[in-house]
């Protein structure tokens, strides 16, 4: 762990936004009711034919790599945290590695729900 570091952070969210008001067209609910119980105002939906967990991870990784001032070849290990992988096998980490043309490195998928990020960070 002494040589591990977070050099860049990236994020990606799908462009398709669905608000609570949008849900009111299909459900007997209201913006106020949803916000009061969940705090949610809007959610993002992936394009069903073009966006997967791995493709969204790739977009986030591109941003993180750029912000870190490195290249995909500089990455030594991938830890990919998700509860909804593209496939059970191979994991999303391997798909990111292949799509970004990284060298042959270890890729570990952590499939843990809400605490996945914290678990991955600790790992």
Q: What is the pLDDT of residues 64-74, one digit of tens each?
A: 999 999 999 99
H or E stretch covering 15: none
- Boundaries of every domain in the chain: 11-51, 69-123
Q: Give the model confidence (pLDDT) of 66-111 as tens digits.
A: 999 999 999 999 999 999 999 999 999 999 999 999 999 999 999 9
Question: Could you give the CA distance from residue 46 to residue 56 in angstroms, rounded to a whole number?
Answer: 9
Does this model's pTM top 0.75? My answer is yes
> Residue 1: its pLDDT value, please?
60
Q: What are phi and psi of 79, to 5 degrees?
A: -120, 115
Q: Could you tell me which residues are beta bridge partners of residue 19?
A: 42
How far CA 5 is from CA of 60, 75, 76, 77, 78, in Å, comes to 17, 11, 11, 11, 13
């Amino acid at each position: 762990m002494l040589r591990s570091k977070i050099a860049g952070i990236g994020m990606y969210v799908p462009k398709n936004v669905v608000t609570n008001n949008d849900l009111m067209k299909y459900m007997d609910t209201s913006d106020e009711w949803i916000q009061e119980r969940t705090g949610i105002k809007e959610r993002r939906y992936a394009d069903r034919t073009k966006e997967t967990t791995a493709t969204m991870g790739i977009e986030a990784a591109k941003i993180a790599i750029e912000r870190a001032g490195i290249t995909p070849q500089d990455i030594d290990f991938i830890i990919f945290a998700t509860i909804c992988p593209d496939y059970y096998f191979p994991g999303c980490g391997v798909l990111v590695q292949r799509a970004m043309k990284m060298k042959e490195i270890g890729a570990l998928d952590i499939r843990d729900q809400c605490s996945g990020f914290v678990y991955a960070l600790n790992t």
